[in-house]
Amino acid sequence: MNELERQLLERQSLERQSLERLGERVRSEQDRTLQQGPALRLARCKLEQGKLELERREAVAAPGGVPRRVLWALATVPLALGLGLALRAASGQSEVLTASTGDVSYHRGDTVLAPASASLPVDFSDGSSVVLAPSSLATIADLRRHGAELTLATGDAEVHVVHRRHTDWLLNAGPFRVRVTGTRFALHYDPSSDALELSMTEGSVVVSGCDLGEQGRKVVAHETLRASCRPLPTATESEASVPEPTAAAEPVLQPVVEVSSGHATRRESSGSRVGAAVVASDPEWLTLAQSGEYSDAYAQLGPIFEHELTLRGPDELTLMADVARLSGHWDRAEHAYRTLRSRFASTSRAASAAFSLARLAFDQRQSYPDAARWFQVYLDEEPSGPFAREALGRRVEALHRAGDTRAARSEAARYLQLYPSGPHARAVRDLLAAP
Amino acid sequence: MVASPSSALAPAVTAGLQDVEAFGEGSDEDAAIVDALRAGDPDAADRLFLTHGEHVQRVLARVLGPDPDLVDLIQDVFVTALTSFRRLKDPRALRPWLTTIAVFTARARIRKRARWSFFRFLPHDELPEQTAPSTPAEVSEALRSTYRVLGRMPAQERIPFALRVIDGMELTQVAEACGFSLATVKRRLARAKLRFCELAREEPSLSDWLDEGTSWEP
């Protein structure tokens, strides 16, 4: 075997080991997320609503599909599939709705608190469901013949209301009321800031309260409403070239009502105290970015980049930065990360943006002192964060390349103490062993 | 236009099952569940779900990553199983059979996503309704990045990669689940690993795992 072959085999072996480690990491993280999530419980509830599934099967029945005699055989399978419940729901209600979680039934006035470690589904006898996120709190304000009234005191709820002719559901969140006739959406309410966020998936709702008025504002599929009875801040960005982790920009309060869908944005000036923003959550660049089509995404995003920076939340700002970075527009990527840090300071997304700024400084600009500083910013803000090990390893490398050997060796020792078998361990040991 | 995420999946999945022969070590409990289903035991469906629900969820998640329609997909797998169990030749091999259904369901889902991507050139209001994927905050960037990379790979490479590298299945189990020969799985896996490593270098949170910091010399 010659030297080249030996190096190739060694490289392949290293790659195999790296993939094994990565696979193990992803596997354990995924298992943890699955255990904490509600998917399995919800799937079981749905299976128990056997008749709803049969209706879906009949709608898509085709040659090669399930024969009708099998469908009807399933229809006669008794209570294990809870068909009695589903049939009663499908045929219309002559009595007040019931609400339950498993064997626990709720009554009017009951308070429901989701545990800290898991979501809590509340199922209604009309087939509707409200899934409370961990630690969320809600009250069953009323149970009626064609609907229910819930009050979300704090937290998040995934709401699915089955539409029927007389469906009449009401959700309260602080000063806001959401009237529902058949739809699917996610609702978040934070009483400390009086902030409501409602993201529509299907159907439409009308949200009233504060200066939205009694008539309210309609929110349709693909729209997100963010509202508060207090003015919403918009932050100016810091233009400092050296990272200053504590120098957050002062927010400028700017009450405004914005409605946008697709690429058009209509700004309504308002003298009211209420800040509310209705933004489309699925512009074309976002769809392209989520499919990994970064160049095409940037082609759509580029002309509206500055505007999108003011509208988007932290997840989407991160995606904007990724789009810019992966399509080679590093200045804009940096701009997006800095904007995210400014607008959403002290969040884990802001810390992740620091990590990404470090990588930009290192990989694209070869500015190793800046890279080392940004890695340290990340470590200061998220010492136990998901990138902590990578950040410290890369910081060692950046310090070394910047010529700061003493600091590099000091950080190398720290790395080995914390991560003796981490991905940088071998190179770090070599650094410490070098004269 | 409203596109139900799992509509029309069932015919594609059950058609594939006609050629599946379940084999493997099997278990007595699995055989008992299948016997109970065949006997029309009212508790059999629930037993099936309680025994294998977590496994099905896991297989779907391995192949697809975070997916807003995971609940519907789990349901699809079990509805397919409950309407097709008479095709199962070896009742003791219920679990590998369910794994195959889950893999076929995931593959149909991947193909459906690919078809939806054609619509990106349509005006916004003509796009099918699709929930933007949302993942819990605690999901790390490594996990997201892994599935971003997998999303750029063809299904015939992505699926064996996910089952082998992420789930840790044996090669024979991967072959059985995918309906390939062992030789085909080995070949596709080798290509998949090469492609994954190449694409992963564009992801900051993955490149460190693959480089091991060997790109610099002290």
The token pair at A8 is: 């190739």
Give the pLDDT of residue B211. Answer: 61
* Residue of B61, B152, B205 lying closest to A390 (CB–CB): B205
Taking the C-alpha atoms of residue A22 and residue B53, their distance in angstroms, rounded to an integer, is 25
A427 chain-B contacts, CB cut-off 8 A? 212-214, 216, 218
Mean pLDDT, residues B170-174: 94
CA distance between the termini of chain B: 59
Residue A69 has pLDDT above 90, yes or no: no
Report chain B residues whose CB lies below 8 A from the CB of A361. none
Are B210 and A18 in contact (CB < 8 Å)?
yes
Rounded to two decimals, the pTM is: 0.45
Stated as kind and residue range, the H or E segment containing A151 is: strand A148-161
- The least confident of A121-125, A378-382, B131-135 is B131-135
**Number of neighbours of residue B129 by Cβ within 10 angstroms:** 15
pLDDT per position as a tens digit, A314-323: 888 888 888 8
Q: What is the ipTM of this complex?
A: 0.80
Rounded Cα–Cα distance for residues A298 and A307 (Å): 14
Helix (H) or strand (E) holding A207, with range, is strand A204-208
Of A260, A252, A352, A254, nearest in space to A304 by CA: A260
Question: What DSSP element (H or E) covers A146?
Answer: none
Interchain pair A60, B129: CB under 8 A: no
Q: Of all residues in chain A, what percent carry a pLDDT higher than 90?
A: 12
Minimum distance, in Å, between the CA of residue A195 and any CA atom of chain B: 19
Sign of CA dihedral B63, B68, B70, B73: negative
| Contact between B142 and A22 (Cβ < 8 Å) | yes
- CA-to-CA distance for A263 and A295, rounded, in angstroms? 18
**Look-up: residue for tokens 């997840």?**
A315
**A317 contacts A347 by C-beta, under 8 angstroms:** no
d(CA A254, CA A235): 10
Report yes or no: B45 and A77 within 8 Å, Cβ to Cβ. Answer: yes
pLDDT, tens digit (0-9, with 9 covering 90-100), for A214-271: 678 888 877 888 887 765 443 333 333 444 333 333 333 333 333 334 333 333 333 3
Task: Choose, out of B56, B75, B147, the residue to mutate when testing the contact with A (most A CBs < 10 Å).
Answer: B75
How many CB atoms sit inside 10 A of residue B205's CB?
A: 22
Q: Locate tokens 């699955």: which residue?
A: A34
From B146, B197, B216, residue closest to A26, measured CB to CB: B146
A192 versus A320: the higher-pLDDT residue is A320
